[in-house]
Structure formats: structure tokens, C-alpha cells
Amino acid sequence: MSTLITTALQDFDDADLFFVHSIGDGEADHPGYAEYRALITNGRGNPQLSPYDERVREVCCLKRKRVFHLEYQNDHALDSGVWYKFIRSRRWREYDYVLFGGEGVLFARQTLLSSMVSFAERCGVHFIASGHEKRRVPKDIFMRYHTRVEAPTELDRLHDLKIREAFAIFCRDREFRALFDSWRSDFEPETQNHIPDLLSRTELAWRVRARLQKRWGSPYLGSQSEAGMRTRIGQRIPGMMDALRSALRMRLHGWLGDAREPRVPRIFVQGRRQPVSTITATEREGGVRYHRVDSPEWFGCAVTHLMSRTFLERLSERLDRYEIYDILDLPFSGTPLEVIWGFTPAWLGFEKWFTDGFHRVRKHFTTYRREDYPPEMAAYINRYYCGRIRVGWQGDHLKIRALRPDCRHLEELLPAGYF
């Protein structure tokens, strides 16, 4: 729901929407899964798999034209596998640009879609990745990621084996092999979080909020437990403040205008905020920042990417020529595919750009506690779109409580369950 709410708030609506539903519980009956199935005990398999929720269809019933629904089998390739299946279908051929994004991705700036298209056309850019969780991992760590623990299980060993097999499939192309061989291990793992600097005005406010979350956890979990009244109040205070601030700014918009970032915006590096100018040079288009990265090992978690038709044509040709779709039959293939997206632009001869316009809510940037729950999703929307919308939550659904007059079109577009 969070993805569609923030999509509906965009200032660009000249696009076709494809909803791709991954049907099933993920334990697909692929021939390549035989070894994996033999190792599963007590139902403990790939923890990244989750069953399809039929309620998704209800929240995707937008009241507009040019909406299409596709179904693929849910399997170990995860979101990347869905993108590869869509690429194999060649449904992208009539579009200049295709944005691939999974559920839970927030469009964190109202101008993001229009900005990406304008920036890509103006600068000849063919690949833009989300920088909300931009990461690089040394080769020697990633290739033994699950077996470097003290007592790895047989399933851990299989996971790392399939990572190596996945890279071997891509290395059928000598150009990819050259990139893989040049992947170094002489650096520490690093994560940067490039998002709009609208989450808190001061470092003190950010730290206080992080401490509250770490102490009391999510109000969503509190509502499902026997947490005491004091705990429940403490859990809800940050989100209530976000909603109140957005409601107040909505009423005073004529005087206050839209929320603005600091003059020197900041990002997170290893959980600490730093001025973005000390990390990388950025370009701006329609209020959205972009930066280029040449090193192939940098990738965007959650595989949210904008790709041009030119890029997809070249990628599709390589996937066919080297029979790389074989990777979809490997268990745990979603793990290496996420990293491989970072190598793909250099492999195909394109620049790789990142943007700060997305936020796939997953874990808190400082505490690293899970926060992909309805209250936190609502709070992020209220901060990114402060003064435009006020979002609350009910159970595991988001609820739009108020809209600024220029955003009332959401009432005509979104299903009744959003209100």
C-alpha cells in the first residue's frame, strides 16, 4: 500500500503500470531444487521466501486505465527473478524506460518519476539504481557469506555453492568474467543510505527517535503482544508526532510552503550521518539527486532500477546468447542476483547511476532494527510528504486520514480500503 500511495502522489502519471504477482509459497518445483529439498528439515528452508498474500490483488485495483496484471511463479530468484521473467517476456519493447520496483518501495520525492525521465534523457543515462541502501561487499566475504560462521549447516554450504554457480553462469560471457575477476577484497563492507534529508532536522532528534525505537520497538508488534500501557504510549509517540506535524503543515501550507531539506543535505554512511558532499559529487534534476559510480561492486539493495529500452535490448541479447536464464532454476539465486545487478551496467557498456529518491523501508539506518511495519511505513510517508498527506494504520493496512486539496485525486484513484 505504501508503494501505491507514494506512486499516486507523483507529479508524473503518463505511464503504464504492470502489477506482477508472484503466486505460491516460493518452494517451486524446479528440477534444480532437488538438492535443496533434500536438505530441508522441519520446514526450515530459504528464510527469504514468503507466501503470496491474496489481499494484494485488492489493494492493486486502481481506478485508472493502462493497468496490467501478470502472474509468475514465486521462487528463490525473488524480485530479481521477477524482473528477469518480465525481460524474457519482452513486454518492455514499446517503452522508452521501464522502472522495476517491488512492494514496500517508497517514492520519497513527489517529482521522482518526472525527474528520472528528464535526467535520463538530458544526460543520456540508461541505468539508475536506488541508493537508499547502496552497498559493496568484498569478494572473499560474499563468496563464502553463509559458511564463514562458526558452525555452518549443510543448507549454508548449499547456499554458498549456488552463489558460486550463479556467477559461473554469468561468467559464460568473457566480458562478465573479466569484471568478476577484477572484483577485489581489499576493502571493508560498506553501506550508504542516500535518501531525502527530511527524516529529522537535528542529530539530537534522530538519536532520540532511534533510542525510543530501540527501547520500545514497533507499535505494530506492541499491538500484537501484552505490552503495558507505558510501552504502548512510548511506541506510538514518534509516529503521532509525524502525523501531527504533517496535519499542521497541511493547514498552514499557504504560509509555510512545502517541507525543505537542509542547505547541506546529509546521508547515512555505516549508520552515521554525513554531508553528502563529503562522500560523492551529485547532480540535481527536479529536486532529486543523482550520482555516478564506476566501481562494479556497488549495488542497490532491493533491486529497484530504471532501465532504458536500449539497456534492456542489450541485456536481453546477452541473456539469450549465453543462456543465462538458467540461473532461475538455482535455489537461493536471489542472493547473487542482487549483487550482479551492480555489475550489469559495466558489463553491457553503460554508466551506473544512483538516486536518493527511493526508500525501501527494511531496517533502521542506525539501530538496524526491523521497521518494515505499517506504523513505520506511515511515519515515513508523513515525513517525506509532510503537509500533503496524513497517513495512519489499522492492523496491517495503511489508512489515508487527510489529504491536501491538490492531492485529493488519490480518492478517485485508490480503492476504498486505503481510506
pLDDT score at 27: 81
Alpha carbons 271 and 233: distance in angstroms, whole number = 27
Burial class (CB in 10 A: 0-12, 13-18, 19+), 194: buried
- pLDDT band of residue 214 (cuts 50, 70, 90) is confident
Residue 225, pLDDT above cutoff 80: no
- pLDDT band of residue 229 (cuts 50, 70, 90) is confident
Q: The dihedral of CA 366, 369, 375, 381: what is its sign?
A: positive
Q: Which residues of 205-228 are buried (b: 16+ CB within 10 A; e: fewer)?
A: ebeebbeebeebbbbbebbeeebe
pLDDT score at 40: 86
pLDDT score at 126: 99
Question: From the CB of residue 177, how many other CB atoms can be counted at a distance below 10 Å?
Answer: 15
Cβ-based neighbours of 233, under 8 Å, separated by 6 or more: none
Question: From the CB of residue 138, how many other CB atoms can be counted at a distance below 10 Å?
Answer: 16
Average pLDDT over all residues of the chain? 95
Domain boundaries, the chain: 1-419
Residue 416, pLDDT above cutoff 90: yes
**Cell representation of residue 60:** 492493486
Over residues 90-116, the mean pLDDT reads: 97
Q: Residue 413 in contact with residue 8, Cβ under 8 Å?
A: yes
Alpha carbons 384 and 365: distance in angstroms, whole number = 16
The reported pTM is: 0.95
Cβ-based neighbours of 70, under 8 Å, separated by 6 or more: 18, 19, 20, 21, 86, 89, 91
Burial class (CB in 10 A: 0-12, 13-18, 19+), 376: buried
- pLDDT band of residue 201 (cuts 50, 70, 90) is confident
Burial class (CB in 10 A: 0-12, 13-18, 19+), 32: middle
pLDDT score at 42: 66
What would the DSSP string read from start to end of 117-172?
Answer: HHHHHHHT--EEEE-TTEEE--HHHHTTTTTSSSS--HHHHHHHHHHHHHHHHHTT
pLDDT (tens digit, 9 = 90+) per residue, 121-169? Answer: 999 999 999 999 999 999 999 999 999 999 999 999 999 999 999 999 9
Percent of the chain at pLDDT > 90 equals 84
- 3-class SS at 393? strand
pLDDT (tens digit, 9 = 90+) per residue, 398-415? Answer: 999 999 999 999 999 999
Torsion (CA) 91, 92, 98, 102 in degrees, nearest 10: 30
* Candidate from 44-53, 154-163, 287-296, 378-387 with smallest mean pLDDT: 44-53
Alpha carbons 126 and 351: distance in angstroms, whole number = 7
- pLDDT band of residue 223 (cuts 50, 70, 90) is low
pLDDT score at 408: 96
Parallel, antiparallel, or unpaired: how do β-strands 353-355 and 127-130 relate? Answer: parallel
Over residues 241-261, the mean pLDDT reads: 93
pLDDT score at 77: 96
Parallel, antiparallel, or unpaired: how do β-strands 288-292 and 283-285 relate? Answer: antiparallel
Q: The dihedral of CA 81, 152, 147, 162: what is its sign?
A: negative
Over residues 327-350, the mean pLDDT reads: 98
pLDDT score at 384: 98
pLDDT (tens digit, 9 = 90+) per residue, 41-84? Answer: 766 789 899 999 999 999 999 999 999 999 999 999 999 999 99
For residue 146, how many C-alpha atoms fall within 13 Å in the half-sphere facing its CB? Answer: 17
Which residue reads 549454508 in cell numbers?
156
